[in-house]
Each structure stands twice: as C-alpha cells, then as structure tokens.
Amino acid sequence: MNLAHRWLCRSDGWKRNVETRILPWVLDGVDLGADVLEVGPGPGVTTDLLRTRVPRLTCVEIDPASADSLARRMAGLNVRVLHQDAAAMSFPNATFDGAVCFTMLHHVPSAALQDRLLSEVARVLRPGGVFAGVDSRYSRSFRLLHLFDTMVVVDPRTFPARLEAAGFTGIQVDLDSRAFRFRARRS
C-alpha cells in the first residue's frame, strides 16, 4: 500500500467506519463458527473487532512488517498471526469453520491470483463453512487513493461465478454505493 493508504487504514475515522458500518453490514446474520481465518488484516483494525466475536482467530498477512506488528500486538490473545500468502496457505484442508476478508481483494495483483486466493480459502474451510467479506467498488476517489499502489477492482457482477468456480455455493452479493459484500459457503 502507498503511504496515504497506510495512513488512512490506521486512522480513527477508518476505525469508526469499520466498527459502525463495515463489520455490522458484512457480518449481519453470519455465524462464523469457533475457528476463523482472516485473510489480509493489514494493520489489524478488523482483527481488533473480530477477536472479541470468535474464540479463535488466525490471520494470514502477506506483508511481513504488517504481520510482525500485528503478531506483537495480539500476543497473549486469542489471535494467531502468520506471514503467508493467502493464495498458497500452509494449512491442511478443512481447517477453519469460517473465513473473512475486508477491503483487501483489490490489493491482490491480478484476477488470476484473486481466484487462487478464493480457491485456497475454499480448501481450508470445512464443508459448509462460511466465507464473508467486503470490497470497494470503483470510483475516482478510490483510484486516487491507490496511486502508485496495487488496485485490481473486483467486479461484483462477475464475482458470484468466480466464487462458484472456487468451490463455493449459496453465494450472495449485495451492493451499496461504495462497496459490495459477499457471503458464500464451501460446498
């Protein structure tokens, strides 16, 4: 992420937005289970809120500095943080009850790698496990925030077919003016 984006993702305004708008919208009516995977937590704003909702949370973060910082901050809590690529996770099949990702898919540098990540999440979920998340829709301000940064926007119209190809069923995608949320179950 570029410097402006890193600053924004650590800001009090973003934390309030995650707590009051994003997490409630994404997790409304969703039972993640006891053992949950969070993909791409970045600085861990979502992790701070998720860890109070589930007994065990495992975070997979590709950026080594972010993973190290979050692991230190979560030491002694119900959170395990690993520096891994979510498109090639080291977990056995059917490890987790649920999985989440929040506003991170557009940072995966290609649609092919995004699809690989989706397949990996399906692989590490137990049958029937839920995968829920959110990502941003394209706008000029979103593009400006990502200058000199990775931004491969996910098209919510084609996302259900991509989730199905990765091994998910019961797919639901909902739009708002700036983002889309999704829910799906591992078949």
* Global pTM value: 0.91
| Residue tagged 């649609």 (tokens) | 111
pLDDT score, position 138: 63
Question: Could you give the strand order of the β-sheet that contains 96-102, starting from the edge strand earlier in sequence?
Answer: 79-83, 56-61, 35-39, 96-102, 125-136, 179-186, 168-175
The 10s digit of each residue's pLDDT in 95-109 is 999 999 998 998 899
Contact status, residue 11 vs residue 95, Cβ threshold 8 Å: no
The number of CA neighbours under 13 Å toward the Cβ of 55 is 6
pLDDT band for position 13 (cuts 50, 70, 90): confident
The 10s digit of each residue's pLDDT in 129-164 is 999 999 987 666 655 555 567 767 899 999 999 999
Q: Which CATH superfamily is domain 3-186 in?
A: Vaccinia Virus protein VP39 (3.40.50.150)
| Percent of the chain residues topping a pLDDT of 90 | 78
What are the Cα distances from residue 74, in Å, to 14, 48, 69, 80, 142?
20, 9, 9, 7, 30
Q: How far apart are CA 10 and CA 112, in angstroms?
A: 29
Contacts 24+ apart (CB under 8 A), 170-175: 175/137
Q: How far apart are CA 177 and CA 156, in angstroms?
A: 12
**Model confidence at 56: pLDDT above 90:** yes
Q: How far apart are CA 148 and CA 71, in angstroms?
A: 27
Q: How far apart are CA 22 and CA 6, in angstroms?
A: 18
pLDDT score, position 86: 97
pLDDT band for position 61 (cuts 50, 70, 90): very high
Tell me the domain boundaries of the chain. 3-186
Give the DSSP per-residue string, 14-46: HHHHIIIIIHHHHHTT----SEEEEE--TTSHH
